[in-house]
Amino acid sequence: MGLAEAASGADPASGLQAARELRELAERLEALQVSNARKHGWSWQEIAFFLGVSKQAVHKKYASRTR
Amino acid sequence: MFERFSTQARHAVQLALSEARALRASRIGAEHLLLGLAHGRSGPAAAALRAAGLEVAGLRELAAAQPDAAPLDADSLALLGIDLDQVRLAAETAFGPGSLDGPARSEPDRRTRARMTSEAKEAMALALRLAQTRGDKEISSGHLLAGIIDQGNNGALRVLTAAEVDPAALRADAIRRMAAAA
């Protein structure tokens, strides 16, 4: 099955699972990048700008996980 | 939800939190619940685990060897045209080995509270449902063990697989012991 079939939802189970895995992968990549940005001295404001979310949102999500 | 838990089941959940902290996990997973159950002195779950040759120290070792987060499913991502190996290679080249496999273990999460993984939450919900289906007033350690196994995809099942214990047989034994105790 290719991208078209998975995305068009021919089989709901595999389509939903694929979407879920994609979300999980994106979450992990985001966490890695946020942690790296903090190590480089970026402010929450700057990180939030590039992630396209509010400073409060990014701080709430990551403040406890990164320094 | 906890008000219907038996003393043993409640105790197991508290111990799961201690175990998650000790293992420096960011959340309470099903494998920590399993460890909590193994601590029990009596009750269907502890008895079934002991009968299967599982004790706390061995389970803890296997749980510690688990990645902190569930592994990503390469097959599902391949459906979307994403090569997980390529993504992992890129991440590890930049950030080191294991960087894509969940939060780093080297930094203990001092804030580990009663936060559970979605798998552990599902297992608790299934334990509740099992009690309802059976018409049992309390959610015992046996219901909890069955819920963990019924959830189908979690750290506890990976620990059981690593210990070469058949989850279905373990579940059946716990249920049998619940019936005997009732």
Pick the closest to residue A47 from A25, A26, A31 (CA basis): A31
What confidence score (pLDDT) does residue B77 get?
87
On whether the CB atoms of residues B78 and B72 are closer than 8 A, the answer is no
Name the maximum alpha-carbon separation found in chain A.
46
pLDDT for res B73? 81
Please tell me the predicted confidence (pLDDT) of residue B143.
96
The pLDDT of residue B182 is: 59
Q: Which residue of B has its CA nearest to A20?
A: B76
State the residue for tokens 């015992």.
B140
* B95 vs A: CB within 8 A: yes
Check pLDDT > 90 for residue A27: no
User: Is A1 within the bounds of a domain?
Assistant: no
Residue A35 has pLDDT above 60, yes or no: yes
Domains belonging to chain B, first-starting first, are: 2-70+112-181 (1.10.1780.10)
CB B77 to CB A21 under 8 A? yes
Among the partner residues B26, B76, B99, nearest to A21 by beta-carbon distance = B76
Q: What is the DSSP track for A33-65? A: HHHHHHHTT--HHHHHHHHTS-HHHHHHHHTTT
Burial class (CB in 10 A: 0-12, 13-18, 19+), B38: buried
pLDDT at B103: 53
Task: Judge whether A26 is closer than 8 Å to chain B, CB to CB.
Answer: no
Please give the interface size between A and B, counted as residue pairs whose CB atoms are below 8 Å apart.
54
A12 vs B: CB within 8 A? no
Is residue A19 domain-resident? yes
User: What pLDDT is stored for residue B96 in this prediction?
Assistant: 85
Round to whole Å and give the CA distance between B148 and B150: 6
Give the residue, A21 or B67, on which the prediction is more confident. A21
Q: Is A22 helix (H, G, I), strand (E, B) or coil?
A: helix
**Structural domain contains residue A2:** no
According to the model, what pLDDT value does residue B107 have? Answer: 42
Is A30 near chain B, with CB under 8 Å?
A: no
CB B14 within 8 A of CB B36: yes
CA distance B72 to B81: 15
First to last CA, chain B: 22
User: Roughly what angle, to the nearest 10 degrees, separates helices B141-151 and B7-22?
Assistant: 50
The answer to whether B81 touches B60, Cβ cutoff 8 Å, is no
Contact A32 B100 (CB under 8 A): yes
What ipTM was predicted for this assembly? 0.71
Higher pLDDT, A9 or A27: A27
- Give the torsion sign (CA, B45, B48, B52, B55): positive
- Mean pLDDT over A34-40 rounds to 94
Residues of chain B contacting residue A2, judged by C-beta atoms under 8 Å apart: 79, 81
Please give the pLDDT value at position B24. Answer: 75
Mean pLDDT of successive 10-residue stretches along chain B, which has 182 residues: 85 93 83 96 93 94 76 83 90 85 49 74 95 94 96 93 95 91 63
How many structural domains compose chain A? 1
Other C-beta atoms closer than 10 Å to the C-beta of B76 total: 22
Q: Give the pLDDT of residue B122.
A: 93
Report chain A residues whose CB lies below 8 A from the CB of B88.
Answer: none
DSSP string for residues in B117-128: -HHHHHHHHHHH
Q: Nearest-CA neighbor of B158 among B7, B30, B33?
A: B30
Spatial contact of B145 and B48, defined as CB atoms under 8 Å apart: yes
Contact yes or no for B95 and A32 at CB 8 A: yes
Q: Is residue A3 part of a domain?
A: no
On whether residue A22 sits in a domain, the answer given is yes
Of B72, B99, B102, the CB nearest to A21: B72
Residue B37 has a pLDDT of 97
Q: What range defines the domain where residue A22 resides?
A: 11-62
DSSP structure class, residue B152: -
Best probe of the B interface among A14, A21, A66, by most B CBs < 10 A, is A21
